[in-house]
Amino acid sequence: VQLQASGGGLVQAGGSLRLSCAASGRSVSSNVMGWFRQAPGKEREFVASISWSGSMTYYSDSVKGRFTISRDNEKDMVTLQMNSLKPEDTAVYYCAADKRARTTYGEHEYTRSWLYDYWGQGTQVTVSS
């Protein structure tokens, strides 16, 4: 499975960006998908995830209420709508996928990087103040 993240860029604080993650090689339309980010000098951190059915979504406290994760299983794509961006959102954003299809986990597991087997190359998001 190859994951291609796109949509990053430079935006002013308060602005919006929409990240997309497209899968190829094998369908992940029935797999848990997530977004993580890594800022310079910091560890990679969880941002958002969505269950295989799309019925459950999870967010880090730092983005809750501003970011929205969604999926389009027909297109085998996951998006992250980011609104009210802040300078502290500046990071490389990675999409990731679980290799197990149609699998449900405990809530906290969706936020753990070890759950995800496939990772995209990352897309840079820079928010200026």
CA distance 37 to 42: 10
Residues of the chain with pLDDT under 70: none
Distance, CA of 44 to CA of 35 (rounded, Å): 10
At residue 97, the pLDDT reads 97
Q: Are 107 and 57 in contact (CB under 8 A)?
A: no
At 55 the pLDDT is: 95
Q: Please write down the long-range contacts of 104-108, taking CB distance under 8 Å and 24 or more positions apart.
A: 104/51, 104/52, 105/32, 107/58
Q: What pLDDT does 78 receive?
A: 97
Of 58, 93, 96, 90, give the one whose Cα is nearest residue 78.
Answer: 96
